[in-house]
Amino acid sequence: MSKRALLEVIALDAEDAVAARNGGADRLELVTDMAADGLTPPRETFAKIRAAVDIPLRVMLRLADGFAAGEPRGADALVEVARGLRAEGADEFVLGFLDADGTPDLVTVERLIAELDGCRWTFHRAIDRAADRDALRKQLADLPGLDTYLTAGSAAGVDDGLPTLLAEAAAGARGEPGYGARLMVGGGLRLEHLGALLAAG
């Protein structure tokens, strides 16, 4: 399926959000603690950013570095955080968790989706650490609200992952099961990658 290119930009605060909007961002991903590759921001930060800009906001649901939820208490905490953000008005999210063997942590993901109650969401770069990307996509394909994968195609970044990204874009164009969600490329993306990515749709 062909989709218009969408520019999503990280924002840590309202100042970032305004600058990104003014620079042409279509959507913002709200995080804190970039040293940990982005964790859930406080509710107060979401509220300030929501008041500052009127473009779509996707809020990260991730409480610790890495891609494990930390069952069971970690999942309980994530559900509570998601509930609080929903109460604050958040309606789009970014999440993704793996079990120790690199398969998707469906227990945690499904608990969060139930709490999000129909909200749209992105499965983030946990896919780049998955044991089997294709199997992960097929396992997640029917989950409600999933419309985007944030990925570099490789844990090492877009330089290494570009062939995988192009192959997945082609699979999506062919309508293969598990490949209907948008590819949001991030993680070492550079200008010279854009031609091939845009040509692939």
| The predicted structure's pLDDT at residue 58 | 99
Tokens coding 175: 């309508």
41, 60 Cβ separation under 8 angstroms: yes
The CA distance from 113 to 74, in Å, is 15
49 is written with which tokens?
């950013």
What string of pLDDT tens digits covers the 201 residues of the chain? 346 789 999 999 999 999 999 999 999 999 999 999 999 999 999 999 999 999 999 999 999 999 998 767 889 999 999 999 999 999 999 999 999 999 999 999 999 999 999 999 999 999 999 999 999 999 999 999 999 999 999 999 999 999 999 999 999 999 999 999 999 999 998 889 888 988 887
CB burial of residue 147 (10 Å; 0-12, 13-18, 19+): middle
Helix (H) or strand (E) holding 182: strand 182-185
Q: Rounded distance, CA 110 to CA 195, Å?
A: 36
- Tell the residue number behind the tokens 């998601």, with chain if given: 82
The confidence score (pLDDT) of residue 130 equals: 98
> What whole-number distance in Å separates Cα of residue 48 and Cα of residue 12?
11
Domain ranges of the chain: 8-200
CB 67 within 8 A of CB 101: no
Question: Model-level pTM?
Answer: 0.94
Grouping H, G, I as helix, E, B as strand and the rest as coil, residue 24 is coil
Q: Where are the beta strands (DSSP E) in 26-179?
A: 27-30, 57-60, 92-95, 120-123, 146-151
Q: Within its chain, how far is the Cα of 166 from the centroid?
A: 19
CATH 3.20.20.380, domain 8-200, yes or no = yes
pLDDT the model gives residue 200:
85
Distance from C-alpha of 131 to C-alpha of 120, rounded to nearest angstrom = 25
